[in-house]
């Protein structure tokens, strides 16, 4: 079973930072519960397909040079975790945020993205 730290990393790198649709979908099914709830300032969606659509839209709408990077330590609770991140060209991020997850049965059940 993956750790909360591993789940946060998979969320950032293998899903939202992954421009390959096939491997991104495999990571989604491995990392999140089928009924995952994703909330960000734009709203809330539920399920693998909706989460995949959010990740794909974000990546398709940004230049190929944009990437996610960790921006601080991982914060851990018993079944929760948080990770700050940046998004943009290396060394010149255009967006900053924090992902907060709740874990159920070794997978992310809730993902909340807060933007700076």
Q: Report the C-alpha gap between 52 and 24 in whole angstroms.
A: 8
What's the N-to-C CA distance of the chain in angstroms?
Answer: 32
What is 4-115's CATH number? Answer: 3.10.450.50
In the prediction, which pLDDT does 83 show? 98
CA separation, residue 95 to residues 2, 79, 91 (Å): 28, 27, 12
The residues spanned by each domain of the chain are: 4-115
Give me the mean pLDDT over the 74-83 stretch: 98
Q: What number is the average pLDDT over the span 75-94?
A: 97
Give per-residue pLDDT as tens, 5-31.
Answer: 999 999 999 999 999 999 999 999 999
Mean pLDDT estimate for the chain: 97
* Average pLDDT value for residue range 32-54: 98
Query: Hey, what long-range contacts does 32-36 have (CB within 8 A, 24 or more apart)?
Result: 32/107, 32/108, 32/109, 32/111, 33/104, 33/105, 33/107, 33/108, 33/109, 35/109, 36/107, 36/108, 36/109, 36/110, 36/111
pLDDT band for position 107 (cuts 50, 70, 90): very high
User: What integer pLDDT is reported at residue 82 of this predicted model?
Assistant: 98
The pLDDT-based confidence of 57 (bands split at 50, 70, 90) is: very high
Q: Which pLDDT score is estimated for 11?
A: 98
Distance CA 37, CA 65 (A): 29
User: By percentage, how much of the chain surpasses pLDDT 70?
Assistant: 100
């Amino acid at each position: 079973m993956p750790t909360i730290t591993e789940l946060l990393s998979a969320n950032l790198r293998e899903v939202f930072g992954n421009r390959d649709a096939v491997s991104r979908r495999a990571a989604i099914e491995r990392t999140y519960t089928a009924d995952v709830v994703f909330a960000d300032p734009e709203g809330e969606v539920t399920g693998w397909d909706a989460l995949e659509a959010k990740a794909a839209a974000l990546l398709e709408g940004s230049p190929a040079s944009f990437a996610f990077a960790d921006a601080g330590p991982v914060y851990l609770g018993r079944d929760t975790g948080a990770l700050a991140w940046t998004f943009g060209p290396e060394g010149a991020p255009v967006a900053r945020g924090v992902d907060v997850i709740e874990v159920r049965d070794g997978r992310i059940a809730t993902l909340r993205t807060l933007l700076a």
